[in-house]
Amino acid sequence: MRTYRYFGVLILLLFSGRTLLAQSPWDWLAGASHARDYRLHRVSSYDRSGRNGDARPIEPGATLTLLDEKGPGTISHVWFTIGSTDGKHLKKLVLRMYWDGEAEPSVEAPVGDFFGLGNGDYFQYQSLPLSVGSTNSLNCFFPMPFNRSAKITVTNEGSIRVDNFYYNIDMESFDHPLSPDQLYFHAQYRQCAPCKGWTNDWSGTGANSINNKVNVDGKDNYVILEATGHGHYVGVTHSVLQNQDDWWGEGDDMIFVDGEKLPSINGTGSEDYYLGAWGFGSSSSYLLYGVPVSGAGTAGSRYSAYRFHLDAPVTFTQSIRVTIEHGHANNRSDNFYTVGYWYQAEPHAKFPALPPVDERIPRMHRTGGPGNPVD
């Protein structure tokens, strides 16, 4: 795969206490002979009888506990693959993770969205922390440390039984507690379907009536993540279903740190934030950024993009608010589906309520505007 040509200059996420270290992936080889102070375990769906029934079913409305382990430890890899006759199962199955006995999850997202498949369809791509391989194999390499306990569940919010849910979860166990200031992994799902654009009266992205609109403080921006406490933001997966014609991505990213009224991080456009340019003319898949699904720029088109800040996480000591415009100054009314990923000290703020399952299924909406006339 073309991504491997860039290994020598890309970033490997490693932990040393609280510190994120940027190293060449070649350091995996350089460190291969170093002694390790953990014992590796795997928690999986393997058939305990020794037969070949290595998957678990999940009935409608049921919750399957994948992992419930004592610490201290670090989850180093999560792998799923799913056999279901429900074509929308990626949006209907909800993944939750709990650290150190907390009552509220630190991770809550539809399974597909967590792995970057926010429009509910499978596609292959490779990034450093997340990837989807052949065929429909879901992989996560975000380190997930915990001191006392870790619990991972999947809930079937659909009406159709999942016949085969396979999983392998690799975990490093330690004989000593982790650093007392260790940060914990978090992931939060959000959506607007549709986003509420302020106008439908334009003929194209370059219209003066759109481009002369002022937005300096992020009013009405789409919110990817809001968190309180201290930690660092490490990235986002973002899927789009267009309800209107023309380019959806003129919106700037704006990140507000520690209660800022104006963003200290302000970008120049959505494709620029995802480290592409000129409207994503083709698909791409790199370790820290990519757009593995690039649509045609018309109503009904679908896009999926990602950006991981593992080279320089966005730190916060009190709070963070990660936002992006939906069109310039929020003029457009497309569907956005995102998962924001970050590390922070516990406790974390309670997440917004997960939208009902029917509202999570991507579909076009009658919004008016180019390519979407109102009857």
Q: With 60 as the cut, is the pLDDT of residue 16 above it?
A: no
Q: With 50 as the cut, is the pLDDT of residue 312 above it?
A: yes
CA distance 76 to 139: 11
pLDDT tens, position by position, 43-94: 999 999 999 999 999 999 999 999 999 999 999 999 999 999 999 999 999 9
Q: How confident is the model at residue 375 (pLDDT cuts 50, 70, 90)?
A: low
Instruction: List the one residue out of 74, 56, 52, 45 whose CA is nearest residue 168.
Output: 45
Contact 238, 257 (CB under 8 A): no
DSSP 127-187: -SSEEEETTTEEEE---EEESSEEEEEEEE-SSS-EEEEEEEEEEEEESSPPPTT--EEEE
Structure tokens at 173: 């166990």
Residue 201 makes CB contacts below 8 A (sequence gap 6+) with 209, 369
**63, burial (CB in 10 Å: exposed 0-12, middle 13-18, buried 19+):** middle
Predicted TM-score (pTM) of the model is 0.93
- Dihedral of the CA atoms 68, 104, 188, 342 (nearest 10)? -80
Instruction: List the one residue out of 186, 181, 176 whose CA is nearest residue 73.
Output: 176
Instruction: List the one residue out of 204, 165, 213 whose CA is nearest residue 64.
Output: 165
Structure tokens at 177: 């507690």
First to last CA, the chain: 47
Measured from the Cβ of residue 23, the count of other Cβ atoms closer than 10 Å reads 13
Identical fold between 36-180 and 185-200+218-360: yes
- The residue extents of the domains of the chain are 36-180, 185-200+218-360
CA distance 200 to 145: 47
User: Tokens 């795997």 label which residue?
Assistant: 42
Q: Where are the alpha helices (DSSP H) in 246-356?
A: 270-273
CA distance 182 to 37: 17
pLDDT tens, position by position, 164-219: 999 999 999 999 998 888 999 999 999 999 999 999 988 888 888 899 999 999 99
* 36-180 classified as CATH 2.60.120.1390: yes
- What pLDDT is attached to residue 249? 96
Burial 262-274 (b: 16+ CB within 10 A, else e): ebeeebebbbebb
CATH classification (class only), 185-200+218-360 = mainly beta
- What pLDDT is attached to residue 373? 80
Q: How confident is the model at residue 24 (pLDDT cuts 50, 70, 90)?
A: low
CA distance 317 to 306: 25
